[in-house]
Amino acid sequence: MRLLGKVAVVTGGAKGLGQAMSELFADQGAKVIAVDMMPLTYEHKNVEFYQLNVADSHAVNEFVEKAIATHERIDILVNNAGITRDAMTRKMTDEQFDLVISVNLKGVFNMTRAIGPLMETNNYGSIINISSVVGVYGNIGQANYAASKAGIIGLTKTWAKEFARKGANVRCNAIAPGYIMTDILKTVPDELLKRFADLTMLKRLGEPHEIAYATLYLASEESSYVTGHVLEVNGGMRL
C-alpha cells in the first residue's frame, strides 16, 4: 500500500500505459481519477473516470475545480495522454504538427498549470510527465512527436524548480519509455518493431507494467529526494 490515502490524476487513463498506472496506483491504495477522451476499457473500485480533452484548457480548469470539490486535494499528477501523427518533415501538415503539440505538450501544460499551484499550497505533490525515448534521441518521421516529448523534458526541469522554489515539497520528474506494447504502436510495421527490439540491450520491447512500476516509484515517498530527473525506461535502447 505505497499510495494509501493519496489522490492521483492520470491522463490518458482509459487504456495502455495509463490503464496500467491507474490500476497499479489503485491497488496501492490511491483514489485514482483517470481522465481520457474515451471511456475506460476496465473497471476498478478505486478508479473513477472523467471525460476530458487535455488540450482544452477551459475543460481542464473545470475538471480540476470539480475534482477538488469532491476529493479536496490532488497529490499525484501523471501527464500520460499522448498521440502520434507521423510523417516525414517535408510531408508533415500543419494539422499533424499542431495536433500533436496541442495534446502532448499544451495538454501537459494545461493540467500542470491547474494542479501544480494547488500542490504548492498543500506543500505536497508529485508530478510525473510521460516523455519518450524519441524525445531524448529524436526519430525519423516524428518531428512533431519528438518536439512535444523533448518539450516535456524542459517543462519537467522548469516545474521541479518553480513549484519548490518557496520550499514546498512538490517534485516533478519525467519518464522516457522505450517501445512498449500498446495501441500506440498499432501503426508501426512488425519488422520495424523487431528492429526496435534489437536496438535494446535486453533485445525485447517493454510491457505496460514495466512503465507503471517506474511511475509508482516516482509517485511514492520512495523517491522523496528525486526531482527534475528524466528516468529512461527502455531496456537500454539508444535510437
Q: How many CA atoms lie within 13 A of 192 on its CB side?
A: 10
Instruction: Return the C-alpha cell found at 17.
Output: 500505459
Please give the Cα distance from 134 to 120 (Å, whole number).
31
Taking the complex as a whole, the smallest distance from the CB of residue 31 to ligand NAD amounts, in Å, to 19
Q: Where are the alpha helices (DSSP H) in 123-223?
A: 133-137, 143-162, 190-198, 208-219
Taking the complex as a whole, the smallest distance from the CB of residue 166 to ligand NAD amounts, in Å, to 30
Measured from the CB atom, is 98 or 123 closer to ligand NAD?
98
Measured from the CB atom, is 41 or 121 closer to ligand NAD?
41
β-bridge partners, 33: 9, 48
Taking the complex as a whole, the smallest distance from the CB of residue 55 to ligand NAD amounts, in Å, to 5
Please give the Cα distance from 2 to 25 (Å, whole number).
8
Q: Is 217 a catalytic residue?
A: no
Task: Determine which one of 124, 145, 179, 213 is catalytic.
Answer: 145
Taking the complex as a whole, the smallest distance from the CB of residue 26 to ligand NAD amounts, in Å, to 16
Pairing mode of beta strands 76-79, 125-130: parallel
Contact footprint for ligand NAD (CB under 6 A)? 11-12, 14-18, 36-38, 52-55, 80-83, 103, 107, 130, 132, 177, 179-180, 182-185
Measured from the CB atom, is 107 or 151 closer to ligand NAD?
107
DSSP 3-state assignment of 60?
helix
Measured from the CB atom, is 18 or 235 closer to ligand NAD?
18
Which sequence positions are flagged as catalytic?
145
